[in-house]
């Protein structure tokens, strides 16, 4: 069994709401249903109930939604988790990402490549480099992530990547650079919020990538009432379009 320790991050689950807090013994946390003295949960097992609040171990989804500080648009779990599987990320992989943003995708990628892989992520804005570093130090393994404060138009320092992902405004401008740092047959993923951007990306991808797919994911939650099983009335209508392709080997000597 795993027990709650001082300075752990935990989720307080109460009446369908979640809060991600650090277990600082001197502090108390108050919810609608009561007070939790944090000193009193240290040494107790995860899952305990205190005044109708449940103390849970954060999942990667909890970390992205309730723990990490978001100062950029992020890739939400719906797309984020799919991307990691679609790119076939495995332990030992060397993965390229741009831009780092708040580190939401980097956190998920770094878990997937553990214990011996590495994520190399590039971010041109220093403010976002600092925030994403803090998020990854708090909630992930910073030894699995190298954050470069660098605009990729000035180049990418590493090569021979097993997979790459672009979450930038004009991905078509970087396809040549990314092609050169990927291993042949490796996957490239891209997210863009508008159809106009897809129209720019696809023609630029076609000469260097095959098996190109464009998709959009929808996630619909259901109400919990077993006697009136039906979807929730509201859902997130749009996050982004996902584009995937595989690097073609081009033999220049032919
Ligand atoms: N995927 C990230 C996440 O899940 O947290 C969010 C990425 S955010 C939407 C896009 C980021 O790309 C911004 O922080 C921006 O500064 C960075 N960016 C855009 N173009 C870039 C470039 N050419 N080189 C490096 N970073 C870039």
Q: What is the pLDDT of residue 252?
A: 75
- Measured CA to CA, the distance from residue 22 to residue 66 in angstroms comes to 12
Q: Give the mean pLDDT of 37-66.
A: 97
Q: What is the pLDDT of residue 161?
A: 98
Per residue, the 3-state secondary structure of the chain, as one string, reads CCECCCCCEEEEEECCEEEEEECCCCCEEEECCEEEEHHHCCCCECCCEECCEEEECCCHHHHHHHHCCCCCCCCCHHHHHHHHHHCCCCCCCEEEEECCCCCHHHHHHHHHHCCCCEEEEEECCHHHHHHHHHHHHHHCCHHHEEEEECCHHHCCCCCCEEEEEECCCCHHHHHHHHHHHEEEEEEEEEEECCHHHHHHHHHHHCCCEEEEEEECCCCCCECCCCCCCCECCCCCCCCCEEEEEEECCCCCCC
Task: Indicate whether residue 165 lines ligand 1 (CB < 6 A).
Answer: no
Ligand 1 centre to CA of 69 (Å) is 15
* Position 45 confidence tier, pLDDT thresholds 50, 70, 90: very high
Q: What is the pLDDT of residue 40?
A: 97
Mutate to test the pocket of ligand 1, among 71, 106, 124 (most ligand atoms within 8 A of CB): 124
Ligand 1 centre to CA of 59 (Å) is 24
At 126-153, the pLDDT tens digits run: 999 999 999 999 999 999 999 999 999 9
Q: Is the pLDDT of residue 15 over 90?
A: no
Return the percentage of the chain with pLDDT > 70, whole number.
99
Q: Is the pLDDT of residue 79 over 90?
A: yes
Q: How distant is the alpha carbon of residue 238 from its chain centre?
A: 17
Q: Is the pLDDT of residue 48 over 90?
A: yes
Nearest CA to ligand 1 atom 14: 101
Q: Is the pLDDT of residue 122 over 70?
A: yes
At 177-229, the pLDDT tens digits run: 999 999 999 999 999 999 999 999 999 999 999 999 999 999 999 999 999 99
Q: Is the pLDDT of residue 254 over 70?
A: no
- All domains of the chain in start order, with CATH: 9-58 (3.10.330.20), 65-247 (3.40.50.150)
**31-35, 45-49, 61-65, 241-245: least confidently modelled range:** 31-35
* Position 251 confidence tier, pLDDT thresholds 50, 70, 90: confident
Task: Indicate whether residue 76 lines ligand 1 (CB < 6 A).
Answer: no
Q: Give the mean pLDDT of 91-98.
A: 98
The 10 Å Cβ neighbour count of residue 13 is: 18
Ligand 1 centre to CA of 101 (Å) is 5
- Measured CA to CA, the distance from residue 213 to residue 119 in angstroms comes to 24
Residues 6+ apart with CB under 8 A from 194: 241
Instruction: Please give the C-alpha separations between residue 116 and each of 16, 43, 90, 92, 99, in angstroms, as whole numbers.
Output: 37, 31, 10, 5, 22
């Amino acid at each position: 069994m795993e027990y709650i320790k001082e300075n752990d991050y935990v989720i307080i689950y109460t009446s369908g709401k979640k809060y991600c807090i650090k277990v600082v013994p001197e502090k108390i946390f108050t919810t609608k249903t009561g007070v939790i003295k944090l000193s009193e949960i240290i040494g107790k097992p995860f899952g305990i109930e205190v005044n109708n609040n449940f103390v849970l171990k954060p999942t990667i989804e909890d970390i992205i939604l309730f723990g990490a500080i978001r100062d950029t648009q992020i890739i939400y779990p719906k797309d984020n988790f799919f991307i990691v599987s679609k790119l076939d990320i495995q332990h030992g992989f060397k993965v390229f990402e741009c831009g780092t943003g708040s580190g939401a995708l980097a956190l998920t990628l770094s878990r997937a490549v553990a214990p011996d892989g590495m994520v190399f992520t590039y971010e041109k804005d220093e403010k976002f480099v600092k925030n994403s570093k803090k998020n990854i130090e708090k909630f992930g393994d910073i030894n699995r992530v190298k954050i470069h404060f660098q605009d990729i138009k000035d180049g990418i320092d590493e090569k021979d990547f097993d997979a790459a992902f672009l979450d930038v405004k004009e991905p078509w401008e970087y396809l040549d650079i990314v092609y050169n740092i990927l291993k042949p047959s490796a996957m490239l993923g891209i997210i863009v919020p508008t159809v106009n951007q897809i129209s720019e990306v696809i023609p630029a991808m076609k000469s260097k990538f095959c098996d190109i797919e464009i998709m959009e994911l929808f996630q619909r939650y259901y109400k919990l009432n077993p006697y009136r099983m039906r979807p929730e009335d509201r859902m997130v209508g749009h996050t982004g379009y996902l584009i995937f392709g595989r690097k073609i080997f081009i033999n220049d000597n032919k």
